[in-house]
């Protein structure tokens, strides 16, 4: 959820660069570097959570299940990070983005 506030804080820079035609392909050249930078952090977070789940809580010691769980946590981390960056970019304001975040979280409960 911290990606929402960071995305909103970076939006004025994006709009300024877009208005001066500094980014030739718009959103892709702006979003791709931030996604690539966050990949190593996702690997580290997935490793920490998988280690906690498998060795501290004594789950199945089979290495294939360990790697499947690690891959699943890695993909879920990337998906949730992208979702919250999308909500921040679509909201363009912290109040509106928090409304989107709360409505998407509590909609099906």
* pTM > 0.75: yes or no: no
pLDDT of residue 104: 53
What are the boundaries of each domain within the chain?
2-106
Torsion of CA 97, 1, 102, 26, to 10 degrees: 30
Give the pLDDT confidence of 18-76 residue by residue, as tens digits: 777 776 666 666 667 778 888 898 899 888 888 888 877 777 778 888 888 899 989 98
Closest CA to 35 of 71, 6, 15: 6
Rg of the chain (C-alpha set): 18
Q: What 8-state DSSP symbol labels residue 52?
A: I
Higher pLDDT, 97 or 50: 50
CA–CA dist 7, 97 (Å, integer): 10
Task: Please provide the distance, in angstroms rounded to a whole number, between the alpha carbons at the two ends of the chain.
Answer: 19
């Amino acid at each position: 959820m911290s990606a929402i506030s960071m995305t909103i804080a970076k939006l004025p820079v994006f709009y300024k660069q877009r208005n001066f035609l500094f980014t030739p392909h718009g959103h892709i050249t702006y979003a791709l570097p931030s996604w690539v930078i966050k990949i190593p952090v996702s690997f580290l977070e997935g490793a920490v959570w998988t280690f906690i789940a498998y060795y501290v809580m004594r789950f199945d010691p089979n290495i294939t299940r360990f790697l499947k769980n690690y891959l699943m946590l890695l993909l879920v981390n990337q998906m949730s990070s992208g979702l919250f960056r999308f909500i921040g970019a679509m909201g363009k304001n912290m109040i509106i983005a928090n409304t989107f975040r709360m409505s998407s979280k509590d909609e099906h409960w």
